[in-house]
Amino acid sequence: MGVRRFRPLTPGQRHKVANDNSDITKHTPEKSLLRPSKRSGGRNHTGKMTMRYLGGGHKRRMRLIDFKRDKQDIPAVVVGIEYDPMRTGRIALLQYKDGEKRYILAPQGLLAGQTVVSGKNVAPNVGNAMPLSNVPLGTIVHNIELNPGQGGKFIRSAGAYAQLTAKEGKFVILKMPSGETRMVLAACMGTIGSVSNTDHILEVHGKAGRIRWFGRRSRNRAVAMNPVDHPMGGGEGRASGGHPRSRNGQLAKGLKTRKRTKGSNRYIIERRTKGYGSK
């Protein structure tokens, strides 16, 4: 897996950096695991635009992903690695011994033809899922639950992983991608390995039109608006617009927005490192 650059035969190809998709082995999705995906264009049920800069984009169908990995102690063969338009990482199609098929998040290094299994007493191999209490110290994990049986809620984007650093009673301590260290219940499930498509961060769209294919419209600057439209708008000439803030007046660049009484604060041992959205 890697990235590819293009000869600048067109302006949009001059700076474009795309994934070579060499890790994808299956190009046709499983029909039984597809669901329609309806776009809102940022409008609510009355037709009013409540989210700006959304709309258009290519038609997509949602893949049903098994985040719970609750089919325990039944081996499954990896049929193939597929592209999912809804997420940055790859997905893997599994076929269990009883014939059932499910999609899971594909970890880095998982290949077609390999066997994966989930359960309490399985080996800590890439793609296997188990309770965090059974994961060896120092292991890389992803798709982690916050509550037992809830299904994986975080560490699900391309290249993401957390490292299990310690076990304390009914909790385990994970070091997150942001540098944050936090406690998670040891009964929660996690999958061994990091999420695939690690080169996603290197991709460059190259032109605004390619971003529109993803359903994202161009965003105009706040300082270019009128005072009625944004607190940073208005002024004579190219005025700076004052202190950076949101459309509703929420200050940016330094204002802490996390609630002091948030329930999960007690599980966070060390806050995320500076420069990674630590405010």
- How many domains is the chain built from? 1
Print the domain residue range for 174: 3-200
Q: Is residue 210 part of a domain?
A: no
Q: Is residue 157 part of a domain?
A: yes
CATH code, domain with 166: 2.40.50.140
Q: Is residue 88 part of a domain?
A: yes
Residues 6+ apart with CB under 8 A from 63: 29, 33, 34, 35, 82, 84, 86, 91, 103
CA distances from 160 to 108, 144, 254, 272, 275 (A): 10, 11, 26, 15, 18
Q: Is residue 142 part of a domain?
A: yes
What is the distance between the alpha carbons of residues 99 and 75, in angstroms, rounded to a whole number? Answer: 11
Q: Is residue 89 part of a domain?
A: yes
Instruction: Starting at the earlier edge strand, list the strands of the sheet with 115-116.
Output: 101-105, 91-96, 76-82, 115-116
User: pLDDT of the chain along its 279 residues, tens only?
Assistant: 789 999 999 999 999 999 999 999 999 999 999 999 999 999 999 999 999 999 999 999 999 999 999 999 999 999 999 999 999 999 999 999 999 999 999 999 999 999 999 999 999 999 999 999 999 999 999 999 999 999 999 999 999 999 999 999 999 999 999 999 999 999 999 999 999 999 999 999 999 999 999 999 999 999 999 999 999 999 998 888 888 999 999 999 888 888 999 999 999 999 987 655 444
